[in-house]
A and B are shown apart, each in its own frame.
Chain A
């Protein structure tokens, strides 16, 4: 163990001790002073910084490190996710459908919803969640295998839960056929690049690899929002 990690460990122990001293305790979360259980997780996050945040997105023990051999043994559909801003990897599986929207979730309380086989319309459980979005025009173009202009409307909530709407003007361009090799299987896909701008200096690029035969988006890189950044998604086992 290097001295740096020893130092970090002592710091964390000291922080935890201070937390206990400061926080007190209670038998009910609605009663009295701030409970230790409320303060402890944030101290852990302070102590280990990014690693603690990445922890939240870590796959369950069932899918350690998204090991291909393990994925092969899973029968339900799986989607791998890599969130750039936290450098975190996770696996999502289907949780619910509501009309045209499919919702997938990780085992650790992150949820993402998609339309048109994989165009992101909301996230929950991240800092700076995409509260809701209308991306129907983009999804329709990709579904039809065409390029064209599309309007997007993204809704975010600020710190007082007020809607902040970002309207994006986008161009979807088909970029030809590509063969993806995912988890040992080859998939013929059509690639689409979507370039968006809010007219005030924000520029966003999303990329989609749609299955050549069907509506499923096999792989994508999509912008969630200004705080959460970009997420890379990949269907793993179907």
Chain B
């Protein structure tokens, strides 16, 4: 092989195509992450940011303190972070015999980017919801002195003013800035805005020096004296020193000495969705578009359409099935008319639906009679027909090699409700010819339970089978069966029953550990039906064992117009609580729960959702969600639920809130796939603000083919 290569290269005259970035490669990396998982040096913040959309994970450990953090560059200048920490706080250990475990959220806003003369400037809140172990605020400026050297200077409050503190300069505005209220409000977990930027202030500073391409040296003057962690964390100087080593373009390893006494390590891994590892998943080339002869040359006859339409469509589907399969698409039905083809398809491979649409259109351009000018592509998701996307064949021919072809195709594309197109009706949709009614998969599962102070991570692992028997396209029996092989979630504590004796139903979620066991379990066994009651309307009925803890009936109605940013839904559920000790039995608890939901797509991947209704415990209130999604399937969001349940009844944390994310597997595996991993991290699993976890909710089912989502991923249509 190498001989052939050498000979071939020699044949080319050993020409080397020169392509080099002459500009210095040794510039400081755009960002570094501190021990808190936020832009910073070691413990101190800097006024830097990560590339927009970057999701980062950091872990830090030294004797007396360990932290893990998940950080997200939510906007180009706004970084947010969720952190779980274990700190050996003396007063806590004396009281409980344990180290303190703490969950906290940070937010960092880069007010000014670095300019020619002005430094970058950022403001941040550490631990701004919660019990306040790390509660502190800062203002920091960062300036690049030369390509290898960057310096920062800032002022901190709260924990960031525990060394070298002085009277708060803000007290010239008002005397109330002079002192900082201690402790936390009620049961914790609330915004402690009354504390922000109050009490003494202190200065901190730091420098970072890029010694080599991969090695950065760090030094800082810290205004955090770790007084609550002493003596477990030693202190003999305010100066911290360390290094950061770039292991790969996306990961770093750091080592440091804090306050002259404590040696620690930190690792970070950052995923920038715009720059996936190795240039992203490797795609097989699609088939080239076929350019028809000019009209009038005889190829545009429609005589072929005289044959029976159903037979033509079935023949086309059968003949083209291998070509579609090669493009990762399953075509379920083709309706051929003299000038139009309506194609119902399922995207089996591509992270972005537009790529599957584009590849379907390419195959059609190579195979359908020349007279067929319109391709109507209807993507199917979970038995529901998504937005019908109409592309003109001549537009596709012109766009194939046009540098602006993607945009021109989008401008000419039409998006419509599929209802009324051939093969898409209101009710019963027969299973397409050639489709297996029975689908199954068996694989491992991992269930986790976080933040038990004794054992912060609990997990169950085992085997899980998913089975589906389709009676029609839109009517199926679905089952999920699990057998745990190992696990300790059932050993976890249920936590205090704070709802006992109130008007709320207790143990609607806090009894979850009881449902984990070594017995075989039926996680789900449902009959699911979807239908289209009318234009822009979608409906769902699910009956059976809906989730691990509840069985009953769940119904839903959704209004969604393909081109509207707004969608509205109503959900009503009548359920009984399942008996944890029985395979299919129920206990005596009966609950009626339901919500009215509004979904708003702001464009650019930002989605807001508000659900107003009655929760499982009988509390009434609303859930607010905001998420940012990317065309490759990465989604990061946060939610909070506020109900009429008093914070004191809710218990620790005051109200339910958390973050959730979906990681597409394509970037990790290096090849296109629709697989993804989703996780929700609740700050605490409690009974207030708890919702039924029913599968197949309508908005998530169809959202991928809503116009805003198609626009977001449209860049992939000619890929």
Contacts from A to B (Cβ < 8 Å): 21-35, 38-39, 41-42, 45, 53, 56, 65-66, 80, 82, 84, 87, 89, 95-99, 101, 103, 105, 109-111, 113, 121-122, 124-129, 131-134, 153, 155, 157-163, 165, 182, 200-207, 219, 221-223, 226-230, 232, 234
Are B439 and A159 within 8 A (Cβ)?
no
Q: Select one of A28, A38, A134, A204 contacting B436, CB under 8 A.
A: A28
Contacts from B to A (Cβ < 8 Å): 1, 4-5, 8-9, 11-12, 15-23, 53, 272-276, 278-280, 282-286, 288-291, 330, 346-349, 352, 354-355, 397, 400-403, 405-406, 436, 438-445, 464, 466, 468, 630-632, 665, 667, 669-671, 673-675, 713-716, 718-719
Q: Which residues of A contact B406 (CB under 8 A)?
A: 163
CB distance from B356 to the nearest CB of A (A): 11
Q: Report 23 cross-chain contacts, Cβ distance below 8 Å, ordered by A residue.
A: A24-B441, A26-B439, A26-B440, A33-B445, A33-B675, A34-B675, A42-B671, A53-B282, A66-B4, A89-B5, A96-B291, A111-B286, A124-B283, A127-B279, A129-B719, A161-B354, A162-B715, A163-B715, A202-B19, A202-B21, A203-B22, A221-B16, A227-B279
Q: Select one of B5, B289, B443, B674 contacting A23, CB under 8 A.
A: B443
Measured CA separation A184–B441 after assembly (Å) = 56
Are A111 and B285 within 8 A (Cβ)?
yes
Are B442 and A25 within 8 A (Cβ)?
yes
Are A127 and B466 within 8 A (Cβ)?
no
Known contacts A129-B283, A131-B718, A161-B715, then 11 further A-B pairs from the complex at CB < 8 Å, ordered by chain A residue: A31-B466, A80-B8, A82-B9, A84-B16, A129-B719, A157-B715, A159-B272, A159-B667, A161-B354, A203-B20, A207-B15
CB distance from B404 to the nearest CB of A (A): 8
Are B436 and A159 within 8 A (Cβ)?
no
Q: Which residues of B contact A113 (CB under 8 A)?
A: 288, 401
Measured CA separation A28–B441 after assembly (Å) = 8
Are A162 and B274 within 8 A (Cβ)?
yes
Are A132 and B1 within 8 A (Cβ)?
no
Q: Which residues of B contact A201 (CB under 8 A)?
A: 21-23
Q: Which residues of B contact A97 (CB under 8 A)?
A: 291
Which of A23, A153, A158, A163 has the most CB atoms of chain B within a 10 A radius of its CB? A158
Are B273 and A160 within 8 A (Cβ)?
yes
- Nearest A residue to B2 via CB reads A87
Q: Select one of B286, B667, B675 contacting A124, CB under 8 A.
A: B286
Q: Select one of A29, A31, A207, A230 contacting B440, CB under 8 A.
A: A31
Q: Select one of B284, B439, B444, B716 contacting A24, CB under 8 A.
A: B444
Are A132 and B631 within 8 A (Cβ)?
no
Are B288 and A96 within 8 A (Cβ)?
yes
- Nearest B residue to A56 via CB reads B282
- Nearest A residue to B382 via CB reads A30
Measured CA separation A45–B671 after assembly (Å) = 11
- Which 7 pairs from chain A and chain B are nearest by CB? A24-B443, A32-B441, A230-B17, A26-B441, A161-B715, A33-B443, A124-B285
Are B18 and A203 within 8 A (Cβ)?
yes
Are B346 and A30 within 8 A (Cβ)?
yes
Q: Which residues of B contact A101 (CB under 8 A)?
A: 400-401
Q: Select one of B4, B16, B278, B279 contacting A89, CB under 8 A.
A: B4
Are A158 and B274 within 8 A (Cβ)?
yes
Q: Select one of B285, B347, B632, B673 contacting A160, CB under 8 A.
A: B632
Are A105 and B288 within 8 A (Cβ)?
yes
Are B17 and A182 within 8 A (Cβ)?
no
Q: Which residues of A contact B283 (CB under 8 A)?
A: 124-125, 129
Are A29 and B442 within 8 A (Cβ)?
no
Measured CA separation A60–B315 after assembly (Å) = 31
Q: Which residues of A contact B403 (CB under 8 A)?
A: 132-134, 153, 155, 165
CB distance from A95 to the nearest CB of B (A): 5
Contacts A132-B401, A221-B15 known; A82 to B5 CB distance under 8 Å?
yes
Measured CA separation A230–B23 after assembly (Å) = 20
Are B4 and A159 within 8 A (Cβ)?
no
Contacts A96-B289, A109-B285 known; A39 to B669 CB distance under 8 Å?
yes
- Nearest B residue to A39 via CB reads B669
Measured CA separation A206–B440 after assembly (Å) = 52
Measured CA separation A143–B716 after assembly (Å) = 32
CB distance from B598 to the nearest CB of A (A): 26
Q: Which residues of B contact A221 (CB under 8 A)?
A: 12, 15-17
CB distance from A215 to the nearest CB of B (A): 18
Are A121 and B401 within 8 A (Cβ)?
yes
Contacts A65-B4, A163-B406, A201-B23 known; A131 to B719 CB distance under 8 Å?
yes
Measured CA separation A126–B281 after assembly (Å) = 10
Contacts A31-B440, A103-B288 known; A87 to B17 CB distance under 8 Å?
no
Are A159 and B280 within 8 A (Cβ)?
yes
Measured CA separation A204–B715 after assembly (Å) = 26
Contacts A95-B288, A96-B290, A229-B17 known; A158 to B275 CB distance under 8 Å?
yes
Measured CA separation A103–B290 after assembly (Å) = 11
Measured CA separation A132–B464 after assembly (Å) = 44
Are B17 and A204 within 8 A (Cβ)?
yes
- Nearest B residue to A41 via CB reads B671
Are A204 and B18 within 8 A (Cβ)?
yes
CB distance from A56 to the nearest CB of B (A): 8
Q: Which residues of B contact A159 (CB under 8 A)?
A: 272-276, 280, 632, 667
Q: Which residues of B contact A158 (CB under 8 A)?
A: 274-275
Are A33 and B8 within 8 A (Cβ)?
no
CB distance from A16 to the nearest CB of B (A): 15
CB distance from A63 to the nearest CB of B (A): 11
Measured CA separation A226–B279 after assembly (Å) = 10
Contacts A29-B348, A33-B466, A202-B19 known; A232 to B9 CB distance under 8 Å?
yes
Q: Which residues of A contact B464 (CB under 8 A)?
A: 33
Are A205 and B673 within 8 A (Cβ)?
no
Q: Select one of B1, B348, B445 contacting A30, CB under 8 A.
A: B348
- Nearest A residue to B629 via CB reads A160
Q: Which residues of A contact B719 (CB under 8 A)?
A: 124, 129, 131, 157, 161
Q: Which residues of A contact B286 (CB under 8 A)?
A: 111, 124
- Nearest A residue to B465 via CB reads A32
Are A230 and B19 within 8 A (Cβ)?
yes
Are A31 and B468 within 8 A (Cβ)?
yes
Q: Which residues of B contact A155 (CB under 8 A)?
A: 403
Q: Select one of A21, A98, A126, A234 contacting B401, CB under 8 A.
A: A98
Are B5 and A87 within 8 A (Cβ)?
yes
CB distance from B111 to the nearest CB of A (A): 26
Q: Which residues of A contact B349 (CB under 8 A)?
A: 29
Q: Select one of B17, B291, B669, B718 contacting A98, CB under 8 A.
A: B291
Measured CA separation A177–B346 after assembly (Å) = 55
- Nearest A residue to B677 via CB reads A34
CB distance from A184 to the nearest CB of B (A): 11
Q: Which residues of A contact B12 (CB under 8 A)?
A: 82, 219, 221, 232, 234
Measured CA separation A24–B441 after assembly (Å) = 7
Q: Which residues of A contact B716 (CB under 8 A)?
A: 157, 161
- Nearest B residue to A25 via CB reads B442
Measured CA separation A21–B463 after assembly (Å) = 10
Q: Select one of A25, A45, A84, A103 contacting B17, CB under 8 A.
A: A84
Q: Select one of A41, A160, A206 contacting B631, CB under 8 A.
A: A160
Q: Which residues of B contact A228 (CB under 8 A)?
A: 279
Measured CA separation A128–B675 after assembly (Å) = 22
CB distance from A223 to the nearest CB of B (A): 5
CB distance from B280 to the nearest CB of A (A): 5
Are A98 and B18 within 8 A (Cβ)?
no
Measured CA separation A35–B551 after assembly (Å) = 29
Measured CA separation A31–B466 after assembly (Å) = 8
- Nearest B residue to A197 via CB reads B22
Q: Select one of A34, A128, A162 contacting B673, CB under 8 A.
A: A34
Measured CA separation A230–B21 after assembly (Å) = 14
Are A25 and B441 within 8 A (Cβ)?
yes
Are B275 and A30 within 8 A (Cβ)?
no
- Nearest A residue to B330 via CB reads A30
Q: Which residues of A contact B714 (CB under 8 A)?
A: 161
Q: Select one of B8, B279, B397 contacting A82, CB under 8 A.
A: B8
Measured CA separation A77–B17 after assembly (Å) = 25
